[in-house]
Structure 1
């Protein structure tokens, strides 16, 4: 992780901007996140039916704001099992004080992991 991103890892929220899949208009949401390297992981409790997930599936170019920094990025649904587990554990550790060897809570175990590849 770059020093710039490492300094932002403790922020409570990120702000994701997607383009509407029908309207093309920007849509901004506040969301929990965790960073690993230049990838931000997010989780969708509504799975693939969440509007923001449907938007980024149609148009993967997104904006991500963390703290006072804005990044251009590319979004994707996490499909690799190992990366999926990493995303779940990172977010559970940050927001639910999860520790290795303990079971994940329901949200962390069932929400859809999404990766945001930040362009530095």
Structure 2
């Protein structure tokens, strides 16, 4: 990963991503939050269904918008219960507004941001 991309990811917790709609095939840009855990970058949200996640399930390639850069990225969807527990165990305790860790493990989307 280029240093300028890593530095932008380190600075920006709120990021825009453009996914490809699972039904329409059209680009969909939204604002979401980026988290850091285990030295890697993640997209997640509070428990519940998310259109952006459903789009990544259908089309894992997306664009990450950082500091004026449009960065091609790929989502690695995390479904393994042990990995989900480990990653959410690093993210959720730092969120003062979050529901229980168990609810995040059971019901939150989780995708690693992969950039070449």
TM superposition score normalised by structure 2: 0.72
1:41 aligns with 2:9: no
- The number of equivalent residue pairs is 111
Cα–Cα, structure 1 residues 84 and 2, in superposed 2: closer, same or farther, change >3 Å? farther
Match of 1:21 in 2: 22
For structure 1, the residue ranges without an aligned partner over 5 or more in a row are: 98-103
Question: Whole-Å Cα distance in 2 between the matches of residues 4 and 44 of structure 1?
Answer: 25
Cα shift at 1:82: 5.0
Match of 1:87 in 2: 87
- Residues 1-34 of structure 1, C-alpha deviations (whole Å, 9 max, x = no match): 6532331212131111111111111101111102
Question: Whole-Å Cα distance in 1 between the matches of residues 18 and 99 of structure 2?
Answer: 26
Question: Whole-Å Cα distance in 2 between the matches of residues 10 and 73 of structure 1?
Answer: 18
Cα–Cα, structure 1 residues 30 and 91, in superposed 2: closer, same or farther, change >3 Å? farther
Within-5 A mapping of 1:1-120: 2-8=2-8, 9-35=10-36, 39-47=40-48, 49-81=49-81, 83-92=83-92, 96=95, 105-106=98-99, 109=102, 110=104, 111-119=108-116
For structure 2, the residue ranges without an aligned partner over 5 or more in a row are: none
Question: Whole-Å Cα distance in 2 between the matches of residues 19 and 85 of structure 1?
Answer: 28
TM superposition score normalised by structure 1: 0.70
Cα shift at 1:35: 4.2
